[in-house]
Structure 1
Amino acid sequence: MGIADLEELRSIVNSTINDSNQHLKKDINQALHEHPETAYEEKFAHDTITKFLEDRGFVVKRSTHGLATSFEAEIGSSGRLVVICAEYDALPQIGHACGHNLIATSSIATFLGAAAALKQSGAFGRLRLLGTPAEEGGGGKAKLIDAGAFGDVSAAIMAHPMPQNQLSDESNNWSGLAAMKMIASHKFRTEFRGKTAHAANEPWNGVNALDAAVAAYSSIGLLRQQIKPDERIHSVIEVGGTVPNVIPDYTRMNWNVRSPTIAGADKLLSRVKANIQAAAAATGCELNYITAPTYSNMIANKSLCSIYVDEMSLIGEKVLLWREKPITASTDMGNVSQTVPSFHGAFGIPAAPDIALHNPGFAAAASTDEAHEACIKCAKGMAMLAIRVLLDDELAVDARGDFEHNQGW
């Protein structure tokens, strides 16, 4: 594949995405932002995206891999396979405060551009746009991995929006980050069961499940003093009782336990559980765990990241290749990166200095014209990354080698 061939394919990618830009903005980006849906409830997003693709002639499989709100659209019948992951779930109460409306838009644009270029090239290769629900705590990609959605994949790619000010420093104004390293996270709920009683008339006959939750929460607060700076423990009490004069016989807590690696997260989890079990024992409550898919730490593939940076530079975007310190957040794309060679980049969008992810202000930032244009630029780089994995044997081998020999960041 020569330089002239690549230039022709870039032209096709850019023109295809540009031609679809306004429809992507109105029919996908704005529509999803105005209809936020939480994990596994993304019915509007599922139907909106699949219709958008079907209207453009793509054959779409709905409700794939046992998940009602997952979907697949694929072109090609032989050769290497690149999967483009689309996220579209939102957060409870604060909507698209993680910008998944932009993720869906950039991934769909990537698929449109890469599909047009692959068709023009006449080469072997397969492209799949995979709808991945429930990234926000539901572990959709972990379930898709178990269902076989990432079998025989040469590369899986996607990108995430971030506040622009978190990407730049005093000397450089980076528009994006290629190697978006993220940490591992155990996610689970705890249920404490006690015995109800009248809180004034016979408190001695009660077993207070709220006391168990409070004791667990407090002891974990003390544990935080003794953990490493890059580790995190979070918890909320989801169910705490009803009225003050009835001793609660049931409480439920939701937990995240994070560490830079899955091995570190496992060790921290054992310490956290010791405190939770002590709270149950101290109050006489029964304890039950409700587990959710664990999010593995993200491994950034060096070869894929390098090509993305090169492609973005050709459209005038200055993307940072990597930085040593990981982002202390987690994603189920980490699980994918432990399964196949993966790219999970970041693109910056304008936001106030005090605005970060999972903040209502970021939801507002994710709806702006500037944010949309940033995700479209990112899509052009990802589309060419996908094409080069499909058509460049050396790149495909290098990316697989980075993955198999753990030569990532």
Structure 2
Amino acid sequence: MVSFTLADRSGAKSLSNIQKVINKSIENIDRELQGINHAIHSNPELGYAEFEAHKNIVALLKSQEIKVIPHAYGLETAFEAEYGQGGRVVAFNAEYDALPGIGHACGHNLITTGSLAAFFGVVGMLKKDSIPGRVRVIGTPAEEGGGGKIKLIDAGAYKDVDACLMTHPMAGHMFATKEQFAGISYGTSVASAKFKAIFHGRTAHAAAAPQDGINALDSAVLAYNGISMLRQQILPAQRIHGIILEGGEKANVIPSQALMDYNVRGSSLKETKVLQKRVVNCFEGAAIATGCKVGFEETNNYAELVPSRGLCNAYSSFMLDLGFPQLDKVTDIDNPPYAGSYSTDQGNVSYVCPSIHPVYIIPADDGASNHTKQFTKAAIKDEAYRLTIATAQGMAATAWKLLSDDEFAGSVKSEFEQTKADREEDMKTLPDIFNGHLVSL
């Protein structure tokens, strides 16, 4: 697919008065939004170390007389800002961590910019209509593997949230279709289970007394090979990837310790945990075969995205009105969410409140995909910024519909409660993954 650009925009309808107020409210803070976008992109910071981004975003919110809590929920680089009183609560998640070595190659500068813009769009409507309702923007650190939203969930950040929204930039060629589209509103992601395995053996002189040693590296290699063979018997959408972090320091010393880092992915959290159990069996079998002991440390679990069909339908409709058609057919009740191959801790949020995570297309040179240096360059182009603002307009309109339309809000809640009940029932049958061999590394 050729990347969707502003020039491809067509069929925009006459905007409602609500959409006009939202768009004008965002336009009024355009200079500040561009400033924060460039500030985050030009100073990439890794997860839980986004100190400058946190400082700059908090300063922007305060400059607009918004009540903001820095260092929120016990996380140094999290924040929470809110406007409004009573009523329902809609939150926008802002991500701003970068990737090591390649900066904002996943466009988190744009994610923050879009969520801030949507927040100010809803603030503009609340100032105009003064209905009961609150809008929040939550600063969520360390999405890139650190599970910041998981910590926020555990700290209660979403306990009173009626809906949570965010959007994510993508490169258009990543989608195998010839259709011209601006994004995907109704999409899911794969679940992910990250963990480490440590083997303990016994050192010995590798030449003089190898028989006295128990080789932890042998365990690691045996486990690695076993897992490689397991891949032939897993489902097409499942993934297993891992590395050996430690395996000894000198060739003439039998290694007494080996450390491995693994990530297992599947279409749902339940499916992923079942696969993880099979992977753990490979580690335990290797330990038995070599005489080592093995322990595991669970890093985190990213759930699959469970998008709210009602919220996605509203967002898709608003984006179409703005001239940005979506690829998915969310109005078809039998149509499943578009399956993405990535993982995100927004999936965990979708387990605790109605949520959406639409992706939108930004132009990227040389067929670049996310997590490449070329995408880092694409994420700071003016075209990418303008497309982000368009998604913010659609998000804000969707959020306003949930705050102002009781029937719509009720249907969103009802849908979520049903899917939540189904998930909770599924999770009751999960196996004991680590057989009591959890350790702290």
> Smaller-chain TM-score range?
over 0.9
Give secondary structure in 2 for the equivalent of 1:330.
coil
1:389 corresponds to 2:428: no
Match of 1:125 in 2: 133
Q: CA deviation at 1:354?
A: 4.0
1:301 is aligned to: 308
Q: CA separation in 1, counterparts of 2:247 and 2:123? A: 51
| Equivalent-residue separation in structure 2 for 1:192 and 1:277 (angstroms) | 10
Residues 198, 259 of structure 2: 8 Å contact kept: yes
Deviation at 1:59, TM superposition (A): 1.6
Deviations 1:191-223 (A, max 9, x none): 222333444444333333222222222211110
Give 2:56's match in structure 1, choosing from 40, 48, 59. 48
Residue identity opposite 1:389 in structure 2: L
SS in 1 for 2:137: strand
Q: Deviations over 1:299-337 (max 9, x none)?
A: 111110111111112221112235655112211111111
* Deviation of 1:34 (Å): 2.0
- Whole-angstrom CA distance in 1 between matches of 2:248 and 2:43: 32
Report deviation, 1:75: 0.8
Q: Which residue of 2 aligns with 1:25?
A: 34
Is residue 190–residue 252 contact of structure 1 (8 Å, CA) maintained in 2? yes
**2:414 matched residue in structure 1:** 401
What is the CA–CA distance in structure 2 between the aligned matches of 1:111 and 1:358, rounded to whole Å?
A: 27
2:63 is the counterpart of 1:71: no
Q: How big is each residue's C-alpha offset from its partner over 1:94-129, in whole Å with a ceiling of 9 and x where there is no partner?
A: 222222111111111111111111111111100111
User: What letter corresponds to residue 386 of structure 1 in structure 2?
Assistant: A
Residue 148 of structure 1: CA displacement?
Answer: 1.0
Are 1:278 and 2:291 counterparts? no
Report the Cα distance in structure 2 between the residues aligned to 1:238 and 1:360, rounded to whole angstroms.
Answer: 25
Correspondence for 1:138: 146
One-letter code aligned to 2:23: N
Rounded to whole Å, the distance in 1 between the matches of 2:250 and 2:402 is 60
The letter of the residue matching 2:373 is P
- Contact 1:168 1:174 (C-alpha < 8 Å) held by counterparts: no
Q: 1:233 aligns to what?
A: 240
Give the conservation status (yes or no) of the 8 Å contact 2:173–2:367. no
Helix, strand or coil at the partner of 1:293: strand
Match of 1:374 among 387, 393, 397: 387
The answer to whether the 8 A contact 2:314-2:398 is kept is yes
Q: 1:219 to 1:364 in 2, by over 3 A?
A: farther
CA distance in 2, matches of 1:99, 1:201: 55
Question: Using a 3 Å threshold, how does the CA distance of structure 1 residues 192 and 14 change in structure 2: closer, same or farther?
Answer: same
Change in Cα spacing, 1:343 to 1:244, as seen in structure 2 (3 Å) is same
Q: Give yes or no for contact 1:94–1:360 (8 Å, CA) kept in 2.
A: yes
Where does residue 323 of structure 2 map in the other structure? 316
May I ask how many residue pairs the two structures share in their alignment?
Answer: 401
Q: Output the CA distance in 1 between the equivalents of 2:162 and 2:97.
A: 26
Partner of 1:181: 188
| Larger deviation, residues 368-377 vs 387-396 | 368-377
The SS at the match of 1:192 is strand
1:357 aligns with 2:365: no
What CA RMSD, in Å, does the superposition of the two structures yield over aligned residues? 2.0
Instruction: Identify if the C-alpha distance between structure 1 residues 168 and 315 changes in structure 2 by more than 3 Å, giving closer, same or farther.
Output: farther
Match of 1:112 among 115, 120, 127: 120
Secondary structure, counterpart of 1:174 in structure 2 = coil
> Residues 115-153 of structure 1, C-alpha deviation per residue, up to 9 Å, x if partnerless?
111111111100111111111112111221111111122
Look up the SS of the partner of 1:394 in the other structure.
helix
- Distance in structure 2 (CA, Å) of the matches to 1:19 and 1:246: 67
Tell me how far 1:291 sits from its aligned partner.
Answer: 0.8
Q: Which runs of structure 2 are paired with 1:79-90 in the superposition (5 Å)?
A: 79-90=87-98
Q: CA deviation at 1:353?
A: 6.0
Shift in CA distance, 37/118, structure 1 to aligned 2, threshold 3 Å: same
Q: Confirm or deny: 8 A CA contact 2:96 2:109 kept in the other structure.
A: yes
Contact 1:306 1:321 in 2 (8 A): no
Residue of structure 1 equivalent to 2:20: 11
- 2:331 paired with 1:287: no
TM-score normalised by length of structure 1: 0.92
**Structure 1 position 178, deviation (Å):** 0.3
Bigger drift between 150-159 and 8-17 goes to: 8-17
2:302 alignment partner, SS class = coil
Find the counterpart in structure 1 of residue 344 from structure 2. 331
Q: Output the CA distance in 1 between the equivalents of 2:215 and 2:325.
A: 57
Comparing 318-327 with 104-113, which one deviates more in the overlay?
318-327
State which of 144, 148, 152 in structure 1 corresponds to 2:156. 148
What amino acid does structure 1 have at the position aligned with 2:352?
T
CA distance in 2, matches of 1:193, 1:50: 46
Q: Secondary structure at the match of 1:76?
A: strand
CA distance in 2, matches of 1:353, 1:34: 22
Per-residue displacement from partner, 1:146-175 (whole Å, max 9, x unpaired)? Answer: 1111112211100111112234722x2111
- Which is further off, 43-52 or 13-22? 13-22
Query: Counterpart of 2:271 in structure 1: which amino acid?
Result: G
Of all paired residues, the percent bearing the same amino acid is 43
**2:262 alignment partner, SS class:** strand
Gaps of 5+ in 2: 1-14, 330-335, 423-441
The farther-off stretch of 48-57 and 71-80 is 48-57
Q: What residue number does 2:6 align with?
A: none
Decide whether aligned partners of structure 1 residues 387 and 234 sit closer, same or farther in structure 2, where only a CA change above 3 A counts.
Answer: same
Q: In structure 2, which of residues 227, 244, 262 is the aligned counterpart of residue 255 of structure 1?
A: 262
Match of 1:208 among 208, 215, 219: 215
Q: Which runs of 4+ in 1 moved over 6 A?
A: none
What is the TM-score normalised by the length of structure 2? 0.86
